[in-house]
Structure 1
Amino acid sequence: MARITKPLTNTEVKQAKPKDKVYTLSDGGGLQLRIKPNGSKLWLFDYRTPYAKKRTCLSFGSYPDLSLADARSRRDTARELLAKDIDPKEHRDDSSRLNETAHANTFEHVSAKWIEVKKANVSVDHAADTWRSLELHIFPSIGKIPIHKITAIKAIDILNPIAAKGSLETVKRLCQRLNEVMVYAVNTGLLDNNPLAGISKAFHTPVKNHLPTLKPEQLPELLKTLSYASIKTTTRCVIEWQLHTMVRPSEASGARWDEIDFDKHQWNIPAERMTSKKPHVVPLSLQALALLEIMKPISSRSEYVFVSDRNPKKPTHASTANVALKRMGYEKKLVAHGLRALASTILNEEGFDPDVIEAALAHTGKDEVRNAYNRAIYLERRKPMMQWWSNHIETAATGNLSLAGKQGLKIVSQ
């Protein structure tokens, strides 16, 4: 007949005195209280491991920090695991490791891993802008919080003050970026689900505003204003360069001398500098080449065509053209990116092939085979179009000072 162990009482546990040697008091079901000569009392669970059937002990904690009732509760949980052939000690160690990993994966830490993946699909400037927005708006509040503890309520609380200022576009972008980080966490096994999936629905949808640009008939006035503007030569050149080449502001400002092929009259922009993450070739008109000649005495010793005033080892900032246009009186009327829209409108109105225009703007669709075909075939067709566009700009500047004239700096006349 199996020996029946009499359960301990709270009084027995409390009054158990130390002896010369370690001894134990049994509560039954494998739960023991070990009393050491120094008076410390430790709860242990004595059991046989599943499969191997080796006898071992699992420490629950010390008394009185852990009461008799709490020790019994832990024993019962351990016995339930054993009934499922789960070693309670291994289960505790695994849970502890998972918990440590979860707490080490703060929102900022996971975001840093996510942005490294995202960089492969976006431009350098876009990645930097994305990270800055998180640093400014998100990390100060939840950056150090483990990602598994981020809730929709916490995220919405952060975004509410931004929405209250009317910055709904910022809120929209932050919602998208928060969700991208969370989806990354789900896909890498850090989360079971994305708790922020619907947070954008907690805010008003921003009214879509197209980037301001000019009408085709306003091009002469822009060139006249530009000719009289009190701006540095580099600033004026980068604005005209962007106008003639139809590229994005960051692509224009970051132009490097080693990207220019003077023999072939073309500009080879590497994939890492393009929004599409695909290399882009720009046929250079005579006027565009004239701009480069103007910049040679200024920046030929630098890596960059349009160098920063403060640091010749860096390019001028991508916002330089926007700041200049604003000072020239074009605030809310035209932004640097809008020069692309102006070029597109005029070229389409002149009857150029829309596919060739889209290729010049480095716009790509989802059909990768067609995109590759367009890049290969349309380059030759883009050359005369780009020269026509530069000639059109020069004609529009008639009577005004033009840096991109065929002979460089001159007064343009018909």
Structure 2
Amino acid sequence: MARTTKPLTNTEVKQAKPKDKVYTLSDGGGLQLRVKPNGSKFWLFDYHRPYTKQRTCLSFGSFPDISLADARHNRDTSRELLAKNIDPKEYRDEENRINEAAHSNTLEHIAEKWLEVKKANVSADHATDTWRSLELHIFPSLGKVPIHKITAIKTIDIINPIAAKGNLETVKRLCQRLNEIMVYAVNTGLIASNPLAGIGKANQNPIKKHLPTLKPEQLPALLKTLAFASIKTTTRCVIEWQLHTMVRPSEAAGAQWNEIDFENNVWDIPAERMKSKKPHKVPLSDQALNLLELMKPISSHSKYIFPSNSDIKKHTNSSTANMALKRMGFENKLVAHGLRSIASTTLNEEGFDPDVIEAALAHTGKNEVRNAYNRALYLERRKPMMQWWSDHIEKAATGNMSLAGQKGLKVVSQ
């Protein structure tokens, strides 16, 4: 007849005294209390490994940190695993590894990985802006939190103060970016579902505002103000360059000398610098070429046409034009991006083909084949349009100093 082990009592466990040598007290089912000469007590589970049948022990921890009831629960769980041919020690080690990995995958760490993927589809400036917004508003509170512990409640608590200040556009962007990070975490198997899917509904949507710009008839006033503004030559040139070429502020600020095809008078902007991630060609008017001639003595020894004032190895900041326009009195009236709107409105009013204008603005539709065809087709048609636009700018500067005039700096007269 099999020998029956009498279960231990709490009193027996508590009062077990140390001896000269290590000894064990058995509770049955493989559970043992090991008592050492120094008085410490440890719970052990004695079992045979599945398949190999090799005898081994699994530690459950020390008493009284692990009570008799806790030890019995761990023993029962281990026996259930053994019934399924699962080694409880290997199972615990794997659980610990998964848990440790989960805790090392913080929101900030996963956001870094997500942004590396996202960079392939956005401009460098957009990626920088994205990271800065997270650094400023999210990471101080949630950056070190494991991503599997991020909850909607915690996140909304962080975002609500931003919304209370009226920065609803910032709230919208943060919610979008956090959701993209969470979707990335789901797609890479780090979490089972996105806990932030609905946080955008926790605050009201921002009222859509168009970027400040001027009406076409206000172009002469802009050029007059620009002519007498106390700004650096590089800053004024980059504003005029953007106005003549109709590109975005970041594309203008980052212009490089090696992108200019002087033989064909075309500016080749590589895909990685474009918002659409598609290469863009800009036919250069006589006035645009004059701006380049003006910049050569200033920046020909630099990689960039419009270098930074503090470091010639870097290009001027994409916000430089905005800051200059603000100082010139155009705050809430015009931003650098609005220069494109002046061009678009003027050219549309003059009856130029809307498709050609859209091509000049590097706006693309969803049909990639049509986009590629249009880029090739409209380049030649854009050349006279771009020259007309530059001539129009020069005429609008009548009586003022024009850097892009036919002979460089001159007073434009009728």
Name the structure 1 match of 2:107: 107
Q: 2: distance between equivalents of 1:189 and 1:302?
A: 46
Q: Output one character per residue of 1:79-109: Cα deviation in whole Å (capped at 9) or x when no partner.
A: 2222233221111001100111011111111
Could you tell me which amino acid in structure 1 is paired with residue 291 of structure 2? L
Secondary structure of the structure 2 residue equivalent to 1:4: coil
Name the structure 1 match of 2:69: 69
Could you tell me which amino acid in structure 1 is paired with residue 93 of structure 2? D
The reply on whether 1:129 has 2:132 as its aligned counterpart is no
Name the structure 2 match of 1:240: 240
5+ residue gaps in structure 2? none
Could you tell me which amino acid in structure 1 is paired with residue 269 of structure 2? I
Matching of residues 296-375 of structure 1 within 5 Å? 296-375=296-375
Q: Which moved more, 1:169-178 or 1:344-353?
A: 344-353
Q: 2: distance between equivalents of 1:62 and 1:238?
A: 71
Q: 2: distance between equivalents of 1:67 and 1:164?
A: 49
Name the structure 1 match of 2:411: 411
Q: 2: distance between equivalents of 1:389 and 1:14?
A: 93
Name the structure 1 match of 2:256: 256
Name the structure 2 match of 1:396: 396
Matching of residues 172-183 of structure 1 within 5 Å? 172-183=172-183
1:398 Cα deviation after fit: 2.0
Q: Which moved more, 1:18-27 or 1:382-391?
A: 18-27
Secondary structure of the structure 2 residue equivalent to 1:103: helix
Name the structure 2 match of 1:212: 212
TM (normalized to structure 1)?
Answer: 0.97
Q: 2: distance between equivalents of 1:68 and 1:196?
A: 41
Regions of 4+ moved over 6 Å: none
Could you tell me which amino acid in structure 1 is paired with residue 370 of structure 2? R
Could you tell me which amino acid in structure 1 is paired with residue 150 of structure 2? I
Number of residue pairs matched by the alignment:
414
Secondary structure of the structure 2 residue equivalent to 1:45: strand
TM (normalized to structure 2)?
Answer: 0.97
1:337 Cα deviation after fit: 0.1
Q: Output one character per residue of 1:310-354: Cα deviation in whole Å (capped at 9) or x when no partner.
A: 222221111111111112221111111001111111111222222
1:368 Cα deviation after fit: 1.6
Could you tell me which amino acid in structure 2 is paired with residue 384 of structure 1? P
Name the structure 2 match of 1:152: 152
5+ residue gaps in structure 1? none
Identity fraction in percent: 80
Secondary structure of the structure 2 residue equivalent to 1:244: helix
Q: Which moved more, 1:309-318 or 1:153-162?
A: 309-318
Name the structure 2 match of 1:8: 8
Q: 1: distance between equivalents of 2:52 and 2:364?
A: 62
Name the structure 2 match of 1:198: 198
Q: 1: distance between equivalents of 2:79 and 2:205?
A: 54
Q: 2: distance between equivalents of 1:170 and 1:410?
A: 44
1:55 Cα deviation after fit: 2.4
Q: 1: distance between equivalents of 2:152 and 2:125?
A: 29
Could you tell me which amino acid in structure 1 is paired with residue 177 of structure 2? R
Q: 2: distance between equivalents of 1:228 and 1:17?
A: 94
Q: Which moved more, 1:39-48 or 1:117-126?
A: 39-48
Secondary structure of the structure 1 residue equivalent to 2:45: strand
1:399 Cα deviation after fit: 2.2
